[in-house]
Each structure stands twice: as structure tokens, then as C-alpha cells.
Amino acid sequence: ALPISSDEFKGNQGTLLPLWRFSSPKTRKLTVTSVAWNPKYSDLMAVGFGSYVFLNQVSGMVLFYSLKNPSYPEFIIETPDSGVLCLDIHPQHPTLFAAGFYDGSIAVYDIKQNLESPLYRCDVRSGQHLDPVWEVRWQKNDFDDNLNFYSVGADGRVVNWTIVKNELRYSDALLLKMPSGPTDSGPGGIRVQRYEHGRCFDFHPTRDDLYIVGTEDGRILQCSKGYSTKYIEAFSSQLGRLCCPVEYVPSENICLVQCGLESQNMGSYSN
């Protein structure tokens, strides 16, 4: 929700005055975790609610607000099993959206068909992440014209999800293996592969095969959809942990930006 009064005046830097306030009694104890604007209806936005207090997890919600009626949401979707951490609305199907949850699950909803339950939802037997899902992103239809999207999770997996008939299928697009490789751990010296915690990603604006992944430790990995076992290049960050998504700059060939949590600075990278 936006503050009632304007921000403190800061001389030449100016001040901000809120135009609308969006709130609901149903979300009073929840935290806003994601916002996505509808690509067709420019006044409509989806807001995901959950909790960043991971030791005290609660259920979540997705509320659709319109700028024409900020006093009450247009649609309300409850997610009783887990809090919402991310969501994305399909660019060509404005009633369809994908959501990622704290418990590692993924769900696809259609607000035109059903507000009570998702059309598709994965579980531990059908590709569910083992840790929280930090971002989901729709992509162009595949070669068979199936709807598909990607997700990245703290379990070190980038997953491609495809809707085939009445089924949500998955394939691991990339495993974010630690540069140091496997380490000896556990009884008998069992070699265990360690994975980096995926935090965010972005897809190249002109090349469908390229994307970048930001890790919790601040590394940025340039990846290709054609390689599922390794990334192409890694950028080591001096900004520490990520606090916002990485993005390609459309006007550049390959350029990315990030914001560090500890340093509160911006960084850009290109090759």
C-alpha cells in the first residue's frame, strides 16, 4: 500500500505524492512480494502476497486491482497451501498467469475460468522446486505451439514448464552447479554436488536462445537454452547479494544491470 502523505521534501531532488492507495483487510498480515501489470488492460495489475519471514510461513493471495477502482480488488485468489513469491501474466493471454510459491510449487491460473483453484499445479512428483521459487517468466510458444514459461528457484534449478493438453510438463533447463564442483560430505565420503541459489533471471530482448540468471551470492550467469549442463559465462559481482531482478538493456547487445543488497548500488556488465 502506498503512504498516505507525500515523501519528505528533499530540496532539488523533489518529492513524491501518492495518487492511489490499494489495500484490503484480507491481506493485513501479509507482505507484498510481487507486482505484474496486465499487458492488455493497462489499468489492471496483479499483486502477489506472502511472507519473507521464512520461519513463520503463512498462506498467500493474489489480488487484481484496477486504477479505476482502487478501493476494492477486481479479483481475489487465495493460495492456502503457501505464500506467493512471484507471478507473471501471459503477454498474449491477459487472463492467464503463472505463480511461484515459497514451498517450491508452481501454479497456472485463469481468472476467466476459475478463481478457486489453479488450472495446473505441480507437486514433488512433477517437478516441484525443493526451495522457494523467486521468479517465473512466460516465453514464446514452443515449436509445437504449446504455452510455456520458465522458473528459477533457490534449489539451483532453472525449469522450463510446458502446457501440453491438460498437463503441466517440466524439464530442467539448467542446474546451477557451484564452480568448486562436488564436495565430500556425509558417511563414507559421499560426493555431493552443491548448487548456487537462483534468485532472478531475464531473457535477451532479441535472441530467443539467451538468458541471464542472478544468484543469491551476486553472481550473474549468461546462459543458453541450448545448454542444460553449464552456463556460457559468469560475471563476478562486487555488490554482494542481489535485492532486485537482473535485466537486459534493450539498446545494447548483451548488457545487464543489478542492485546489491548490502551496498545499495547499481552495477552494469557487458561483453
Provide the pLDDT confidence category of residue 107 given band limits of 50, 70 and 90.
very high
How much is the pLDDT for 267?
Answer: 55
pLDDT surpassing 50 at residue 1: no
Asked if residues 151 and 135 have their Cβ atoms less than 8 Å apart, the reply is yes
Q: Could you tell me the pTM of the whole model?
A: 0.85
**Least trusted range by pLDDT, from 1-10, 107-116, 157-166, 248-257:** 1-10
User: What does residue 183 show for φ and ψ, rounded to 5 degrees?
Assistant: -130, 150
Contacts 24+ apart (CB under 8 A), 224-228: 225/173, 227/174, 228/172, 228/173, 228/174, 228/175
